[in-house]
Amino acid sequence: MYELIATTTFGIEAIAKRELIQLGFEVLRTENGKVTFLSDSSGIAKANLWLRSVDRVLLKVGEFKAITFDELFDQTASLPWEEYLPKDANFPVNGSSVKSTLFSISDCQALVKKAIVERLKKHYDVAWFPETGDEYSIKVSMLNDIATLTIDTSGVALHKRGYRQKAVTAPLKETLAASMIMLSYWNKERILFDPFCGSGTIPIEAAMIARNIAPGLYRDFAAKHWPWIGEEIWKEQIRLAFQAINLDIEVKIFASDIDSNSLEAAKENAEEAGVIDCIEFSQADFKAVNYDLPYSVLITNPPYGDRLTEEDYNIKQLYIDFSGLIEKLSTWSIYVISSNTNFVNTLKRKPDRERKLYNGNIETHYYQFYGPKPPLKDSII
């Protein structure tokens, strides 16, 4: 068994933990920005293919206290790197240091690299390493004098699903969009609206959840090329993921945007993701959308200000108008994310919950307005 770390943006840890448990993993602990869990080799493939809210899946090689460079070197060199790194491995080392005696990140990186090289030189009986093979990106994280050494199994961050062929200004990360959906009361039997759909991230992620499409199904991973995991494990997990897709599910998702270029991008992205038939796209100002469907769910990412391309567009008026819409849709469950601090000041209806989330490095607030539970006849499509 391996100890793995699922990294997340702050505020998403509980969602990541829930995902891991639903996938059958044993969760060891949850901390700020990460969830540690146990897995075998096949689980490395499964986690990368299926986790929707997670940024990366890291393999933990070792963890120890180090307040001197000698301690960092010696304990790094004592770890079984040869179990993971082949003779031709390309193993760059990056790092971070928070509240630790060893605060120089560059020195920590260089020392860890040297220690690994010395360990592998003895094991493979070579004088130098060409590093011409597959990548094994190593990270040394120093926190309160505890060094954690990991290898990145994901490669490119997991929010890069592969379907986003076109993006708009300030796009919402796919992992955050999926987390917003999983934090909501929406499920595949309820109608979903996104009146500021942009390049379509929220409706596409919702459709993928409804159809049970693994978010990593059409992309590559660093660990997919590691011989000690094996090609057959990946083939089996991919086969199971394709088998799990439900193409028969009937789902109703309405996505609109006032900008024609954004809408065209959203359609192309939905086509690439294989969910174009799940989403009804329309070009419209959000005020002109037909909201005559009670007990629906609205999840959206309205313009922050930096997304606007028209100089004369009044962002304050947009927020005032949208606040009025929230007040009007009394039977709806509404979820809005915004980094604009003025947004909350325009609200006439107080949110039932507010969460701080991050879209990359941008601090945002996720406002949740809970509507009444729909009658059974209205909840089924």
Residue 145 sits in the same domain as residue 249: no
CATH code (residue 233): 3.40.50.150
How does pLDDT run across 256-307, given as a tens digit for each residue?
999 999 999 999 999 999 999 999 999 999 999 999 999 999 999 998 764 4
Contact 360, 322 (CB under 8 A): no
CATH code (residue 44): 3.30.2130.30
Q: How many domains does the chain have?
A: 2
Please determine, for residue 379, whether its predicted confidence score (pLDDT) is greater than 60: no
Least confident span in 196-205, 292-301, 358-367 = 358-367
Rounded to the nearest 10°, the torsion over CA 203, 204, 210, 211 is: 150
Please determine, for residue 62, whether its predicted confidence score (pLDDT) is greater than 60: yes
| pLDDT score at 360 | 83
172-192 mean pLDDT: 96
Listed residue (155, 165, 176, 170) closest to 52, CA to CA: 176
Residue 141 sits in the same domain as residue 179: no
Both tokens of 381, joined, read 């499509």
| pLDDT score at 167 | 66
Both tokens of 134, joined, read 């597959």
Please determine, for residue 373, whether its predicted confidence score (pLDDT) is greater than 90: no
Question: pLDDT-derived band of residue 142, with 50, 70 and 90 as boundaries?
Answer: very high
| pLDDT score at 309 | 44
Give Dmax (Cα) for the chain.
Answer: 73
Question: pLDDT-derived band of residue 352, with 50, 70 and 90 as boundaries?
Answer: very high
Provide the 10 A C-beta neighbour count for residue 322: 23
What one-character DSSP code corresponds to residue 90? B
- At 92, the amino acid letter reads P
Alpha carbons 66 and 68: distance in angstroms, whole number = 6
Alpha carbons 252 and 190: distance in angstroms, whole number = 7
**14 is in which domain, residue-wise?**
2-152
| pLDDT score at 343 | 87
* Cα torsion angle, 16, 18, 21, 27, sign: positive
| pLDDT score at 377 | 61
Please determine, for residue 208, whether its predicted confidence score (pLDDT) is greater than 90: yes
